[in-house]
Amino acid sequence: MRWRRTSSAPLWRDEFSIHAADERYVSRRQFAKFLVLTSLGMLAGQLWILVRSLGRRAPSYPEQVVARAGDVPVGGVKIFSYPGADDPCILVRTAGDRFVAYSQKCTHLSCAVYYEAAGRRLACPCHEGYFSAEDGSVLQGPPPRPLPRVALARRGEDLVAVGFQGRRG
Partner 1 sequence: MGAPPPSFRRSQGHRLTAIDGALALIAVLLVVQMWLLTATLEADLAGHHEVALPGALVSLVLAAAGAALYAFVDRIDAEVRRR
Q: Provide the binding-site residues for partner 1, judged by CB under 8 A.
A: 1-2, 6-7, 21-22, 24-26, 28-29, 31-33, 35-36, 38-40, 42-43, 45-47, 49-50, 52-54, 56, 144-145, 166-169
Q: 10 exposed, middle or buried (CB, 10 Å; 0-12, 13-18, 19+)?
A: exposed
Q: What amino acid is encoded at 7 in this protein?
A: S
CB closer to partner 1, 2 vs 118: 2
CB closer to partner 1, 16 vs 25: 25
CB of 157 to partner 1, least distance (A): 33
Using the CB atoms, write b or e for 103-126: b if 16+ within 10 Å: bbbbbbeebebebeeeeebbbbee
CB of 154 to partner 1, least distance (A): 26
Please confirm whether the linkage preceding 83 is cis (ω < 30° from 0): yes
Q: How distant is the alpha carbon of residue 91 from its chain centre?
A: 22
CB closer to partner 1, 22 vs 63: 22
CB closer to partner 1, 56 vs 97: 56
Are 159 and 80 within 8 A, CB to CB? no
